[in-house]
A and B are shown apart, each in its own frame.
Chain A
């Protein structure tokens, strides 16, 4: 086998230079770009994951808010219902008590008026009886006068 030894060293040097050039100008930059891309993709994936989580969280929050709102609305309606029925009851109660009060007042008034009338009547009756009694006593002194008195009363009654 014919070996040209100079080739060995030429190849050695040539490959050394080529390796240096490639690592400095070609593969070095390219590998760093590939590394950057890896980083980039990872970042993007992380971002996507984060936004997904955020969206999920927000959705959950929205759902809870909606639920809360629904509950609130229900409570408000319920409360309104209760208040209205209570108010109605109150109004009814007041009206009832008012009516009974008025009736009581009226009854009392009637009673008072009646008593007053009875009292007045009683006074008149007693006065009249006293008057009649005195008149009778006056005129009992003599028959003549008694007769006169009766006549007089009769006249009096007749004239009235």
Chain B
């Protein structure tokens, strides 16, 4: 039986309760992590958590440094740290456990009808997943980054930003537009695809019951690796796109 995500209709809009739940949980984990690290932070005697967070910050600073001048990239530092922590935690979130309930036709959640697939009386509902395994969530993160790159390009580097659509010659305009469209698509779909595929594989392996335990362990490890890599890649590409928008080389 296929796992579906808990969906309700409220105010005429479809709401994915699992995504809302995990988005909230991820946000809270990230904030608490950061808050704990900063609590009692000191200049001369940092705590272990503070050291860890400072290491993350240094990591993101280096990441920015690979694509542009660190001074120019300074305003996006906090964005980069927030993104890498949020995406990493989100990618990890779906791995260790699953909360599955059975629901019958007509089941409700807080007085709202759970939507079941057509023609099925019963369904297994999975309440737990990586929020980034949802294309809309990955798309939202992508939208933040892409909108910001265009806004910053227009704001800080208007002439060169507009000119770059017509380079090297004016007929290249369509190609440049395709390039600008492919950026957000690849950015969001890469993240979504990797994490979603990992979750699908886990649910497939789970169906093997105990035979699949070794495979599950291996795949969990691999998924952690993928999750870390994807958060890294996402932030790196963010900075690369940002630098393409705001930096112009003097020829």
Binding site for B on A (CB under 8 A): 1, 3-12, 14-19, 21-23, 25-31, 33-34, 36-37, 40
Question: Are the CB atoms of A9 and B140 closer together than 8 Å?
Answer: yes
Q: Render B69-87 as a binary contact track against A, CB cut-off 8 A, 1 for contact.
A: 0000000011101100010
Please pick, from A10, A25, A40, the residue contacting B38 in the complex, using a CB distance under 8 A.
A25
Point out which of B34, B136, B137 has the most chain A C-beta atoms below 10 A from its C-beta.
B136
Question: Are the CB atoms of B43 and A26 closer together than 8 Å?
Answer: no
Question: Are the CB atoms of A40 and B43 closer together than 8 Å?
Answer: yes
Q: Render B133-169 as a binary contact track against A, CB cut-off 8 A, 1 for contact.
A: 0111101110110000000000000000000000000
Residues in B whose Cβ lies below 8 Å from that of A1: 135
Q: Quick one: closest B residue to A12, CB to CB? A: B140
A19-B79 CB under 8 A given contacts A4-B15, A26-B38: yes
Please pick, from A15, A33, A37, the residue contacting B140 in the complex, using a CB distance under 8 A.
A15
A30-B53 CB under 8 A given contacts A4-B14, A18-B86, A23-B78: yes
A156 to chain B, nearest CB (A): 138
- Segment among B22-30, B207-215, B226-234 that sits at the interface with chain A: B22-30
B85 to chain A, nearest CB (A): 8
Decide if B20 is an interface residue (CB 8 Å cutoff): yes
B9 to chain A, nearest CB (A): 10
A9 to chain B, nearest CB (A): 7
A3-B136 CB under 8 A given contacts A15-B144, A30-B54, A36-B43: yes
Decide if B182 is an interface residue (CB 8 Å cutoff): no
A22-B31 CB under 8 A given contacts A8-B140, A27-B78, A30-B37: yes
A11-B131 CB under 8 A given contacts A18-B82, A18-B86, A23-B78: yes
Of the A-B pairs whose beta carbons lie under 8 Å apart in the complex, a sample of 28, sorted by A's number, is: A4-B19, A6-B16, A7-B16, A7-B134, A7-B137, A8-B143, A10-B140, A11-B23, A11-B136, A11-B137, A12-B143, A15-B27, A15-B82, A15-B86, A15-B141, A15-B144, A18-B31, A18-B82, A22-B30, A25-B35, A27-B34, A27-B81, A30-B37, A30-B38, A30-B50, A30-B53, A31-B77, A33-B43
B216 to chain A, nearest CB (A): 26
* Majority SS at the chain A contact face: helix
Complex Cα–Cα for A34 and B56 (A): 12
Complex Cα–Cα for A36 and B35 (A): 19
Given contacts A7-B19, A14-B27, 17 further A-B contacts (CB under 8 A): A3-B135, A4-B7, A4-B136, A6-B15, A7-B140, A8-B136, A11-B23, A11-B140, A15-B27, A16-B144, A22-B81, A25-B34, A27-B78, A30-B41, A33-B42, A36-B43, A37-B44
Residues in B whose Cβ lies below 8 Å from that of A28: 78
Point out which of A8, A29, A31 has the most chain B C-beta atoms below 10 A from its C-beta.
A8
Question: Are the CB atoms of A5 and B41 closer together than 8 Å?
Answer: no
Question: Are the CB atoms of B31 and A31 closer together than 8 Å?
Answer: no
Complex Cα–Cα for A22 and B120 (A): 44
Question: Are the CB atoms of B78 and A22 closer together than 8 Å?
Answer: yes
A32 to chain B, nearest CB (A): 10
Q: Render B169-189 as a binary contact track against A, CB cut-off 8 A, 1 for contact.
A: 000000000000000000000
Residues in A whose Cβ lies below 8 Å from that of B81: 22, 27
Residues in A whose Cβ lies below 8 Å from that of B86: 15, 18
3 interchain residue pairs of minimum CB distance: A11-B140, A26-B34, A7-B136
